[in-house]
C-alpha cells in the first residue's frame, strides 16, 4: 500500500470523502488522490516520492509556480513581523492601490478570504444597492459555494433556479435565475419580463468552470447595456480570470467596465485571499462606511497580502503576459495536434493562460451543449487523467479539462504537456523520470528570465527527486459531482 493510499484511508475516517474540497477526491476520474509532500516551481512531489509536472497549480493562484522565491521571501519577511494583527497593516493599502491601478473599475476594494466570500458579499451589496432580490447567472459558471450560487437551471432557457444541493432553501434558489452563457436573446427575454426585479447579472467573463468557453463578440457589451437600461448591476466574477487573461483581467481584455468585480486566486498568490470591489458609490455602502454588513477576522491578513503583492509585482515584468499567452497557445495547439494524430476528437481554446480542451468534436459556446456532448468526453477524460498521471503530469481532472498555466519555467515545460509531441514509444516510466529530473534540475538552478531580471537560485535539494517510482495501483472510485457544479 502506498503512503498516499494509507493517508487517504485515515483521512476518510476524519474528513468527509477524505478531503477538504470535493474534486481532490478524484471521484470524477477514479483512482486514489496523491498526497503532496512538497512543491517547487513546476513540480510537485507526493509523499511516495513521485514527482509530477503540475498543470493544476493549486487551481489557478500559482501563476508563478510553486514556492516562487520572490513570494517566499515576501511571506518570510511578513511572517517574521507577526502573521495576524486584527488591525490594519500597510500591505492592505498597497495591494488595494495596486488592484485599482491594474483594474480602474475597482475604485475601492474589500479583501476577504476566498472567492466564495467575495461573490457572496458582492451579491449582498448588489441587492442592497438596487433594493432588488433576483440574481441572473449563467449555466456552467461557478461562483463558489454560497447558497445563491448552488442553483441549477430548471427546464427551458431562462428559468427559476432549483437548489443544486440539499440545504439550499428553495425560496432562495428561486431568486437565482439561470440562462445559457452567450445566449443574448435569452438574457434579453428575461430582462423584458423581469428587468425590474434583477439586482445583478453575475458572470465569469470567460467561462473557466465548464471547460473553457470564450464570450461571443458583443456579448458582454450587450450585458452592460441591458444592465444600464434596467438599473441592474453587472458583476464580473474574475476570481479565475483576474490578472490571468490580461494584466487588468477580463475587463481590460474585453473593454467592458463592470460595476462590481470579484477576485481571488492570483490576488493572494496561493494564500487564502479574495476581494470584491468596484464603483466607489457602491463600495461606500459597505460597513463601516455604510449599512451593508460584511466582516472577517483574518481579512487583509499581513502574510496573505504580502504574498499577493509579491505575485502581482512579478507579473508586472515586461513581456510577462505576452509570454503567457504564447506558451498557452502552443500548449493548446500541441494537445490538439496530438489528439488529431491519434484520431481522438478534440477542441480547445485559451485566453491568456486560461485554457481548456474538450475531448469531443466541434466547438460550442454554451455550457449546456458541452454537457450534452459530455458522455464520450467523460470516458476519455478519465483515461487521459489515468495516463497523464502515469506519466507524472498532474492535470486538471474531470471531463472538462482546463488549466491555468503559468509563466515559469516556460517553453520546455509546455513541450512536455500531456500528450504533446510524439506518442510515447518507450515504456511509460521513461517519460516522467526524464522530464521530472530535468525539471527539478532547472528549478534548482533557475535560469534567468528572458528580460534578465532574476539571478539563478540555489534551490534546496529535494528528497525523493529523481527517485521516481511506479505508479500506485488506482482502484476505481465511483461517484460524480452534481452537474454544473465545480469544487476545489
Ligand atoms: C469564477 C470563480 N468564482 C468563485 C470561485 C470560488 O472561489 P473559492 O474556491 O476561493 O471560494 C471560483 C473557484 O474556483 C471560481 O472559479
- For residue 143, the CA-to-ligand 1 centroid distance in Å is 5
Pull the grid cell for residue 96: 488595494
| Per-residue model confidence as pLDDT tens digits over 100-146 | 999 999 999 999 999 999 999 999 999 999 999 999 999 989 999 99
User: Chain centroid to CA 226: how far?
Assistant: 28
Least Cα distance to 138 among 190, 79, 98 occurs for 190
Helix (H) or strand (E) run with residue 241 in it: none
Task: CATH number of the domain at 194, please.
Answer: 3.40.640.10
65 lines ligand 1 (CB under 6 A): no
142 lines ligand 1 (CB under 6 A): yes
pLDDT of residue 377: 55
Q: Within a domain: residue 472?
A: no
Pull the grid cell for residue 402: 482546463
Q: Which residues of 8-24 are buried (b: 16+ CB within 10 A; e: fewer)?
A: beebeeeeebbbeebbb
Same domain, yes or no: 38 and 136: no
- For residue 126, the CA-to-ligand 1 centroid distance in Å is 19
Of 23, 24, 142, 213, best ligand 1 pocket probe by most atoms within 8 Å of the beta carbon:
142
237 lines ligand 1 (CB under 6 A): yes
pLDDT of residue 474: 26
Q: Within a domain: residue 309?
A: yes
Pull the grid cell for residue 442: 532547472
Nearest ligand 1 atom to alpha carbon 21: 9
Same domain, yes or no: 56 and 142: no
Per-residue pLDDT of the chain (488 residues; tens, 9 = 90+): 999 999 999 999 999 999 999 989 988 888 899 999 999 999 999 999 999 999 889 999 999 999 999 999 999 999 999 999 999 999 999 999 999 999 999 999 999 999 999 999 999 999 999 999 999 999 989 999 999 999 886 555 555 677 889 999 999 999 999 999 999 999 999 999 999 999 999 999 999 988 899 999 999 999 999 999 999 999 999 999 999 999 999 999 999 999 999 999 999 999 999 999 999 999 999 999 999 999 999 999 999 999 999 999 999 999 999 999 999 999 999 988 998 898 988 888 999 999 998 887 766 566 554 444 444 456 666 777 777 776 666 665 443 344 544 333 344 455 554 333 333 333 233 233 334 455 445 544 443 333 333 322 222 333 333 322 323 332 222 222 233 344 55
Q: Is the bond into 205 cis (omega within 30 degrees of 0)?
A: no
φ/ψ of 103, rounded to 5, equals -130, 90
Alpha-carbon distance 189 to 385, whole Å? 40
Same domain, yes or no: 190 and 120: yes
Alpha-carbon distance 51 to 29, whole Å? 20
pLDDT of residue 358: 84
- β-pair type (36-40, 198-203): unpaired
Alpha-carbon distance 214 to 219, whole Å? 10
91, 99 in Cβ contact below 8 A? Answer: no
405 lines ligand 1 (CB under 6 A): no
Q: Within a domain: residue 213?
A: yes
Among protein residues, the one whose CA lies closest to atom 13 of ligand 1? 144
- For residue 119, the CA-to-ligand 1 centroid distance in Å is 8
Reported for 90-94, long-range contacts at CB under 8 A and 24+ positions apart, including other chains, are 91/300, 91/302, 91/305, 91/306, 91/309, 92/300, 92/302, 92/305, 94/305, 94/309
Q: Within a domain: residue 241?
A: yes
- For residue 22, the CA-to-ligand 1 centroid distance in Å is 13
- Examine the residue annotation and report whether 321 is marked as an active-site residue of this protein: no
pLDDT of residue 210: 87
* Domain count for the chain: 2
Pull the grid cell for residue 70: 520572490
Alpha-carbon distance 160 to 162, whole Å? 7
Match 447579472 to its residue by C-alpha cell.
201
- Examine the residue annotation and report whether 142 is marked as an active-site residue of this protein: yes
Same domain, yes or no: 216 and 356: no
Among candidate residues 52, 55, 142, 321, the one labeled active-site is 142
Helix (H) or strand (E) run with residue 171 in it: helix 170-173
Task: CATH number of the domain at 57, please.
Answer: 3.90.1150.10
Facing residues of 39 across strands? 44
138 lines ligand 1 (CB under 6 A): no
Among protein residues, the one whose CA lies closest to atom 16 of ligand 1? 240
Structural domain boundaries enclosing 105: 69-315
Facing residues of 403 across strands? 355
Which residue among 264, 281, 315 closes a domain?
315
φ/ψ of 199, rounded to 5, equals -75, -45
Match 498543470 to its residue by C-alpha cell.
55
- Examine the residue annotation and report whether 237 is marked as an active-site residue of this protein: yes
- For residue 321, the CA-to-ligand 1 centroid distance in Å is 22
Among protein residues, the one whose CA lies closest to atom 7 of ligand 1? 115
Same domain, yes or no: 179 and 203: yes
Among candidate residues 46, 54, 164, 237, the one labeled active-site is 237
Nearest ligand 1 atom to alpha carbon 60: 14
Exposed, middle or buried, 76 (CB in 10 Å: 0-12/13-18/19+)? exposed
Which residue among 445, 461, 477 closes a domain?
445
240 lines ligand 1 (CB under 6 A): yes
Q: Within a domain: residue 326?
A: no
Same domain, yes or no: 61 and 73: no
Of 144, 486, 488, best ligand 1 pocket probe by most atoms within 8 Å of the beta carbon:
144
Nearest ligand 1 atom to alpha carbon 115: 7
Alpha-carbon distance 95 to 305, whole Å? 7
Same domain, yes or no: 418 and 399: yes
Exposed, middle or buried, 155 (CB in 10 Å: 0-12/13-18/19+)? exposed
269 lines ligand 1 (CB under 6 A): no
pLDDT of residue 365: 63
Nearest ligand 1 atom to alpha carbon 274: 10
Among candidate residues 137, 183, 265, 276, the one labeled active-site is 265
Which residue among 445, 463, 482 closes a domain?
445
SS3 content of the chain, % helix, strand, coil (to 5): 40, 15, 45
Q: Within a domain: residue 396?
A: yes
210, 202 in Cβ contact below 8 A? Answer: no
Same domain, yes or no: 309 and 410: no
As a three-state string, the secondary structure of 418-429 is CCCCCCCCCCCC
Q: Within a domain: residue 234?
A: yes
209 lines ligand 1 (CB under 6 A): yes
pLDDT of residue 426: 33
144 lines ligand 1 (CB under 6 A): yes
Same domain, yes or no: 183 and 78: yes
Exposed, middle or buried, 456 (CB in 10 Å: 0-12/13-18/19+)? exposed
- For residue 43, the CA-to-ligand 1 centroid distance in Å is 23
The SS3 assignment for 264 reads: coil
Q: Please state, in angstroms and as integers, the Cα–Cα distance from residue 182 to each residue in 187, 205, 218, 369, 402, following that order.
A: 9, 10, 9, 12, 19
Same domain, yes or no: 147 and 32: no
Q: Which residues of 401-438 are buried (b: 16+ CB within 10 A; e: fewer)?
A: bbbbbbbbbbeebbebbbbbeeeeeeeeeebbbebbee
Same domain, yes or no: 220 and 80: yes
Same domain, yes or no: 79 and 33: no
Nearest ligand 1 atom to alpha carbon 272: 10
Q: Within a domain: residue 453?
A: no
As a three-state string, the secondary structure of 311-330 is HHHHCCCCCHHHHHHHHHHH
Amino acid at each position: 500500500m502506498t503512503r498516499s493510499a494509507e493517508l487517504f484511508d485515515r483521512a476518510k475516517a476524519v474528513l468527509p470523502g477524505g478531503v477538504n474540497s470535493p474534486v481532490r477526491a478524484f471521484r470524477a476520474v477514479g483512482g486514489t488522490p496523491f498526497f503532496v509532500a512538497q512543491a517547487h516551481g513546476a513540480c510537485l512531489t507526493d509523499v511516495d516520492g513521485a514527482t509530477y509536472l503540475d498543470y493544476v497549480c493549486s487551481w489557478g493562484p500559482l501563476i508563478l509556480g510553486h514556492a516562487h522565491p520572490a513570494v517566499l521571501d515576501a511571506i518570510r519577511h511578513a511572517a517574521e513581523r507577526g502573521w495576524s494583527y486584527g488591525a490594519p497593516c500597510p500591505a492592505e493599502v498597497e495591494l488595494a492601490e495596486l488592484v485599482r491601478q491594474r483594474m480602474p473599475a475597482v475604485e475601492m476594494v474589500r479583501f476577504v478570504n476566498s472567492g466564495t466570500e467575495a461573490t457572496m458579499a458582492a451579491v449582498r451589496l448588489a441587492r442592497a444597492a438596487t433594493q432588488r432580490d433576483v440574481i441572473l447567472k449563467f449555466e456552467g459558471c461557478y461562483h463558489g459555494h454560497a447558497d445563491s450560487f448552488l442553483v441549477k437551471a430548471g427546464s427551458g432557457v431562462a428559468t427559476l433556479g432549483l437548489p443544486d444541493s440539499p440545504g439550499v432553501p428553495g425560496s432562495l434558489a428561486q431568486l437565482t435565475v439561470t440562462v445559457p452563457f452567450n445566449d443574448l436573446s435569452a438574457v434579453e427575454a428575461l430582462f423584458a419580463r423581469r428587468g425590474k426585479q434583477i439586482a445583478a447579472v453575475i458572470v465569469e467573463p470567460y467561462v473557466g468552470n465548464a471547460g473553457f468557453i470564450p464570450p461571443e463578440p458583443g456579448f458582454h457589451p450587450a450585458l452592460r447595456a441591458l444592465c444600464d437600461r434596467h438599473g441592474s448591476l453587472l458583476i464580473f466574477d474574475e476570481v479565475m480570470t483576474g490578472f490571468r487573461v490580461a494584466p487588468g483581467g477580463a475587463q481590460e481584455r474585453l473593454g467592458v467596465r463592470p460595476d462590481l468585480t470579484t477576485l481571488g486566486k492570483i490576488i493572494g498568490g496561493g494564500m487564502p485571499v479574495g476581494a470584491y470591489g468596484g464603483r466607489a458609490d457602491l463600495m461606500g455602502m459597505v460597513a463601516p462606511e455604510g449599512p451593508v454588513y460584511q466582516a472577517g477576522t483574518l481579512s487583509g491578513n499581513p502574510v496573505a497580502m504580502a504574498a499577493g503583492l509579491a505575485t502581482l509585482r512579478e507579473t508586472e515584468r515586461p513581456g510577462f503576459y505576452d509570454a503567457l499567452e504564447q506558451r498557452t497557445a502552443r500548449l493548446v495547439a500541441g494537445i490538439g495536434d496530438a489528439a488529431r494524430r491519434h484520431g481522438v476528437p478534440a477542441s480547445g481554446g485559451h485566453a491568456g493562460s486560461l485554457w481548456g480542451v474538450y475531448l469531443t468534436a466541434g466547438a460550442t459556446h454554451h455550457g449546456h451543449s458541452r454537457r450534452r456532448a459530455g458522455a464520450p468526453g467523460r470516458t476519455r477524460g478519465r483515461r487521459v487523467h489515468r495516463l497523464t498521471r502515469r506519466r507524472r503530469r498532474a492535470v486538471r481532472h474531470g471531463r472538462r479539462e482546463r488549466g491555468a498555466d503559468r509563466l515559469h519555467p516556460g517553453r520546455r515545460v509546455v513541450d512536455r504537456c500531456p500528450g504533446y509531441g510524439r506518442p510515447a514509444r518507450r515504456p511509460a516510466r521513461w517519460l516522467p523520470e526524464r522530464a521530472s529530473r530535468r525539471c527539478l534540475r532547472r528549478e534548482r538552478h533557475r535560469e534567468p528570465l528572458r528580460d534578465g531580471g532574476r539571478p539563478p537560485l540555489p534551490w534546496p535539494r529535494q528528497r525523493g527527486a529523481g527517485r521516481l517510482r511506479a505508479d500506485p495501483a488506482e482502484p476505481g472510485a465511483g461517484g460524480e459531482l452534481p452537474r454544473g457544479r465545480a469544487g476545489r
